[in-house]
Amino acid sequence: MMEEEFGGNVKQLLSKLFKSSIESTVPSEHHVLPLISISKNFGGDYQCNNAMGLFGKIKKTMPEFENPKSVGEAIIKNLPESEVIESCSIAGPGFVNVVLSTTWLAKNIQKMLMEGIQTWAPKLTIKKAVVDFSSPNIAKEMHVGHLRSTIIGDTLAKILEFSGVEVLRRNHVGDWGTQFGMLIEFLFEQWPQWDESDDHNKIPIEDLQVFYKQAKKRFDDDAIFKEKAQKAVVSLQSGEQPKYTKAWAQICEISRREFQKLYNCLGVHIEEKGESFYNRYIPEVLEDLRKEGLIEECKGAQVINIKGKKIPLIVVKRDGGFNYACTDLTALWYRIKEEEAEWIIYVTDVGQSEHFEMVFHAAKQAKWLPRDGNALPKATHVGFGLVLGEDGKRFRTRSSEVVRLVDLLDKAKDRSKEALIKRGKAAEWTEEELEKTAEAVGYGAVKFFDLRDNRLTNYTFNYDQMLNDKGKTAVYLLYAHARICSIIRKSGKDIEELKKGGEIVLDDQYERALGLRLLQFSEIVEEACSNLLPNVICEYLYNLSIDFTKFNDHCKVIGTAEETSRLLLCEAIGVVMRKCFELLGITPVYKL
C-alpha cells in the first residue's frame, strides 16, 4: 500500500496517486499533470479528468484503448493501493470518479483537532510578498471608496500569511503630491507667524477636511496662489526649505491619527510607507532608467514610452516635480531590489488597471521584472469594482458627497445593536457584551458583504441585505458558529478531554458531507491565494455552514450514542469556521 503524508490538501494527495497511475498507463512522452477537481457527477467526491485528453494522444499508437472510457478504466486499475481512496468508477465518457475513504476522512479531522488548523495551511512556493492596500491621501478623509482596498488587501495579506508567506503590509499613502504645496501655502497664508512658534506641533487646524476644502477653493480660484503652491511642491520635494518639511510633517501626523482610528475599528494592521519614503531613491531609479535608454524628453517633461499606448508614462513633470508614476516605479524598484519581495500585489480599483499595466511594462523594460509573467519576482494588480448606492451610481450621501467610512461603520454597528435589543439581548447580556457583539456583527457584515462576490464586480451597499440573518451574510454565518458553540456548552463535556479519548465516526450521510467539506479547506485557501480571490473562502464558509445546518436538523448530538463523535465533529467545524473568519477579518461570536 502506498503511504501518503496528508498535508491538508486532498487535491495534491490525489494528484500524487494519479500521477503514478498515468505514468504506469501510457508511455513517458504522454505523461501529463493529473487534472483533479471536486466531482460534479453523482457518485464521487473528486474526479480525474485526464482520460479524454490522453485518448486523443494515444489512440493511433495504442490500439488496445478503444475510447476514453477504456483509458479511464486503465487509470483506475493502475492506481497504487492507498488508504485514501475507497473506490473509483467511470462517469460519462471517461471521468474517473473518486470516493474517499470515510475512515481516512475521520482520522485526518481528528488529527487536525489534536495538532491544530495550521497543519492544514497550504504550502506556497512564494516566500516573501508585498501587499499594497488602503492607500488613502493625506489631508483627505477615508471614505467608502477606500473600503474595498482596505478589506480586500487585509484578507489577501492574511491568507498569504497563513500559508507561510512573509507579508509586508504596505500603506502607500499619498503624502507627496501637488496638494501639499496647496495646503502648506494656505497654512502660511492663514497663519504667517506659524514658523516663529516654539511649538510647531500645535498647528491651528481644528478640522483638516474643512481646511483642505478651503485651500482647494483658493487653489482653483486664484492663479497667483496656484503658481505659489506649485512652486512649494518643488521646494518640499527638494528639501531645500526646512519650514516646508516641518509643516508637511505635521499635516501628515494630523491625518495619520484619523486614519488609525478607522484601522483600529476594522482590526487592520498596516505599515505606512508613503510616497515620501521613496523620494530619496528617485534619483537612482531615474538614472537606472536612463542607462536602459527608457527616458525621453516630451514637451519639457521626461517620459517612458510604452508599446501599444498612445500616452507615455510621465516620470518627471515639466516643472521638475515627481508624480505618482515616478513614485510607483521607485516603490516597485525598492520592493524588488531592497526588500527582495517575490510577489508585489497592488489592491486598487479597476480604474487604475492601465496605470499599473504601464508601470509593470516599464519595469520589465528596465529588467527589474522578468518578461515571463509567471517567473519571479512578479507584480500583480488586484482590481475591484465600485461600491454603488441604491440608485446604481457611486455610493454618496444625499448632498452628493462621498460617504465617510467612519459613519458607514458606526451605522452598521448601531443597526446590529438595535436588532440584538429587539431580540431581548439587552436583558440577558452586560452592556459590554452587547457592544462587543454589535461591533463584531456590524463590522463583520460590512466586510463579508464586500468580500462575498468576485472582487471585480460592483456591488450595491445595502444595510438590510448585509444584516439579514438568512442567506449568504456574515450574520447567518455567525449564527451558525454560535449554534455550534451552544451545542458544545449545553453538553457539559470538556472538549479537550474528548479529544484525548474520543473518536470521530462519519457513518451518517450528513456527518460524511461535513467531513468531506472540512478536508477541502486547505485547497480552498490555496485557490484564494493563487487567484487572489477572497470570495472563494466566503463561498466555502457559506457551504460549510449550510452543511452544518443540515447536520443539525437531522442528527441529534446530546444524549445519543454518537454524542462524543458528533461533539468532536462540531468542534472541528468551529475550528475551521473561526480560521475562515480570521482570514476574512471577521470577529467570531460565541453566542447570539
The per-residue pLDDT for range 63-96, each reduced to its tens digit, is 999 999 999 999 999 999 999 999 999 998 889 9
Cell triple for residue 271?
A: 505599515
pLDDT of amino acid 161: 98
- Give the count of alpha carbons within 13 A of 57, CB side only: 14
What span, in angstroms and rounded, lies between the C-alpha atoms of 146 and 149?
6
What span, in angstroms and rounded, lies between the C-alpha atoms of 293 and 311?
18
Per domain, the residue ranges of the chain are 10-100, 129-384, 405-584
Q: Using pLDDT thresholds of 50, 70 and 90, give the confidence band for residue 199.
A: low
350: β partners: none
Pick the CATH number of 10-100 from 3.30.1360.70, 3.30.70.100, 3.40.190.10, 2.40.10.170: 3.30.1360.70
Q: State phi, psi for 222 to the nearest 5 degrees.
A: -120, 110
Q: Using pLDDT thresholds of 50, 70 and 90, give the confidence band for residue 580.
A: very high
What's the one-letter identity of residue 70? S
pLDDT of amino acid 74: 96
DSSP 139-192: TS--BGGGHHHHHHHHHHHHHHHHTT-EEEEEE--B-SSHHHHHHHHHHHHH-T
pLDDT of amino acid 109: 97
Mean pLDDT of 467-493: 96
145: β partners: none
- Give the count of alpha carbons within 13 A of 533, CB side only: 14
What span, in angstroms and rounded, lies between the C-alpha atoms of 261 and 267?
10
pLDDT of amino acid 384: 95
Q: State phi, psi for 166 to the nearest 5 degrees.
A: -75, 120
Task: Please report how the helices 242-266 and 178-190 are oriented relative to each other, as an axis angle in degrees rounded to 10.
Answer: 110
Q: Using pLDDT thresholds of 50, 70 and 90, give the confidence band for residue 573.
A: very high
pLDDT of amino acid 145: 75
Q: State phi, psi for 161 to the nearest 5 degrees.
A: -65, -45
Q: Which of 30-39, 253-262, 277-286, 526-535 has the lowest mean pLDDT?
A: 253-262
Where is pLDDT greater, at 558 or 142? Answer: 558
Q: Using pLDDT thresholds of 50, 70 and 90, give the confidence band for residue 449.
A: very high
Q: 517-558 pLDDT, tens per residue?
A: 999 999 999 999 999 999 999 999 999 999 999 999 999 999
CB 129, CB 345: distance < 8 Å: yes
What span, in angstroms and rounded, lies between the C-alpha atoms of 182 and 90?
71
**CA dihedral angle for residue 347, residue 352, residue 353, residue 356, rounded to 10 degrees:** -80
Total residues belonging to the chain: 592
Q: State phi, psi for 374 to the nearest 5 degrees.
A: -90, -15
351, pLDDT greater than 70: yes
Where is pLDDT greater, at 188 or 19? Answer: 19
Mean pLDDT of 320-335: 90
CB 382, CB 349: distance < 8 Å: no
What's the one-letter identity of residue 482? A
Mean pLDDT of 219-225: 93
How is residue 118 annotated by DSSP? G
What span, in angstroms and rounded, lies between the C-alpha atoms of 258 and 140?
10
Among 517, 526, 516, 508, residue whose Cα is nearest residue 84: 516
Mean pLDDT of 130-156: 91
pLDDT of amino acid 389: 86
400, pLDDT greater than 60: no
CB 570, CB 557: distance < 8 Å: yes
What's the one-letter identity of residue 414? D
* Pairing outcome for strands 166-171 and 271-272: parallel
Map residue 546 onto helix, strand or coil: helix
CB 85, CB 98: distance < 8 Å: yes
pLDDT of amino acid 299: 86
What span, in angstroms and rounded, lies between the C-alpha atoms of 549 and 543?
10
CB 251, CB 139: distance < 8 Å: yes
274, pLDDT greater than 90: yes
CATH number, domain 405-584? 1.10.730.10
What span, in angstroms and rounded, lies between the C-alpha atoms of 127 and 25?
36
CB 237, CB 279: distance < 8 Å: yes
Q: 165-196 pLDDT, tens per residue?
A: 999 999 999 988 778 889 999 988 888 776 66
Among 254, 257, 253, 269, residue whose Cα is nearest residue 150: 269
Among 512, 490, 480, 497, residue whose Cα is nearest residue 557: 490
- Cβ contacts of 305 within 8 Å, gap of 6 or more: 296, 312, 313
Map residue 115 onto helix, strand or coil: helix
pLDDT of amino acid 414: 95
Calculate the average pLDDT of the chain.
91
How is residue 280 annotated by DSSP? G
464, pLDDT greater than 70: yes
The 3-state secondary structure of 401-455, one letter per residue: CECEHHHHHHHHHHHHHHHHHHCCHHHHCCHHHHHHHHHHHHHHHHHHHHHCCCC
pLDDT of amino acid 405: 82
CATH number, domain 129-384? 3.40.50.620
pLDDT of amino acid 140: 83
Map residue 527 onto helix, strand or coil: helix
Which sign does the torsion angle of CA 27, 30, 35, 41 carry?
negative
Mean pLDDT of 1-10: 68
pLDDT of amino acid 32: 92
